[in-house]
Amino acid sequence: MSGNKLIDLFSSYFSFYLSNRKNAETRKIYLCKLDKIVFNVSDDFKATVIILDTSIKNNVTISITHIHIHNSLVVKTIYHAINIPYIKVELFAIRCGLNQASCLANIEHIVVITNSIYVVKKIFDLFIYLYQIQTSAISKEIREFFKRNHHNYLEFWDCSS
């Protein structure tokens, strides 16, 4: 059954880039790479950047999603949730961002920049856990994006503070 899983079928279609927050020099190099990838994607009509930021204050979770194509803001969404776990809101924002970006015409390359890379990794987790329903829905969206064109590619970049 493992051959039907997203991570098995499309492992060369996505990648994760994690930052090292402990070493200042390594972090600086990482941020330069991130700047370069965003600049390159901004120059490509077949690429889009999704920027996700989620935070909690006074039991209110706020998630902001920006989707850019060719250096232009296409979609900006803000979600407010009260008494909902942070991870659930983040998964919802990821799903909405990927859904909106993958539906845009001719998009082959999606770059997701998030301050919650550990949540993104749960989408590809093969074990059962509390939020598997949400991650299954996201996996379905990603699977459809990859099936549409064998050139499609998805990158996840960590941008934690």
Read off the CATH number of the domain in which 46 is found. Answer: 3.30.420.10
Of 38, 44, 87, the C-alpha closest to 66 is 38
What is residue 43's predicted lDDT score, i.e. its pLDDT?
A: 86
Q: Is residue 9 part of a domain?
A: no
Q: Is residue 31 part of a domain?
A: yes
Q: Is residue 14 part of a domain?
A: no
What is residue 4's predicted lDDT score, i.e. its pLDDT?
A: 56
What is residue 12's predicted lDDT score, i.e. its pLDDT?
A: 75
Domain count of the fold of the chain: 1
- Going from the C-alpha of 154 to that of each of 1, 5, 7, 13, 75, the distances in angstroms are 24, 16, 12, 6, 18
What is residue 47's predicted lDDT score, i.e. its pLDDT?
A: 92
What is residue 128's predicted lDDT score, i.e. its pLDDT?
A: 60
Q: Is residue 10 part of a domain?
A: no
The structure's pTM equals 0.85
Q: Is residue 12 part of a domain?
A: no
Q: Domain range for residue 66?
A: 20-158
Q: Report how far residue 53's alpha carbon sits from residue 66's, in angstroms, rounded to the nearest whole number.
A: 9
Q: What is the CB neighbour count within 10 angstroms for residue 73?
A: 10
Average pLDDT by stretches of 10, the chain with 161 residues: 58 82 86 89 89 86 87 82 83 87 87 87 71 80 87 90 64
